């Protein structure tokens, strides 16, 4: 198993009700697998997950990316700073 840390921001954080979450994932799990896992466990963010950005260790990542061990995963809507 692979232990990861999830960080939520903006609308995703509000819908989750928490800023961060520790999670166990199967080794070799991808971002796509993580989204399915989260959709099942947290139906309240299922819709959000269709349009979120995801980062692995502070770099943007996509569905096919394999999540490395002890990764820091960010999940958030498109950015709106300035």
Distance of CA 11 to the CA centre of its chain: 13
80 binds another protein (CB under 8 A): yes
**Does the protein bind another protein through residue 77 (CB under 8 A)?**
yes
42 near another protein, judged by CB under 8 A: no
What tokens appear for 52 in the block? 């979120």
Containing H/E element for 1? none
Among 2, 30, 39, 55, binds another protein (CB under 8 A): 55
Map the footprint of another protein across residues 3-22, applying CB under 8 A: 7, 9-11, 13-14
């Amino acid at each position: 198993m692979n232990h990861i840390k999830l960080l939520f921001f903006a609308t995703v954080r509000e819908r989750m009700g928490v800023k961060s979450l520790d999670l166990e994932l199967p080794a070799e799990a991808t971002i796509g697998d993580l989204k399915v896992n989260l959709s099942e466990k947290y139906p309240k963010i299922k819709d959000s997950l269709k349009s979120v950005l995801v980062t692995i260790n502070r770099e943007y990542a996509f569905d096919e990316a394999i999540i490395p061990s002890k990764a820091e995963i960010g999940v958030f809507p498109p950015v709106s700073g300035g």
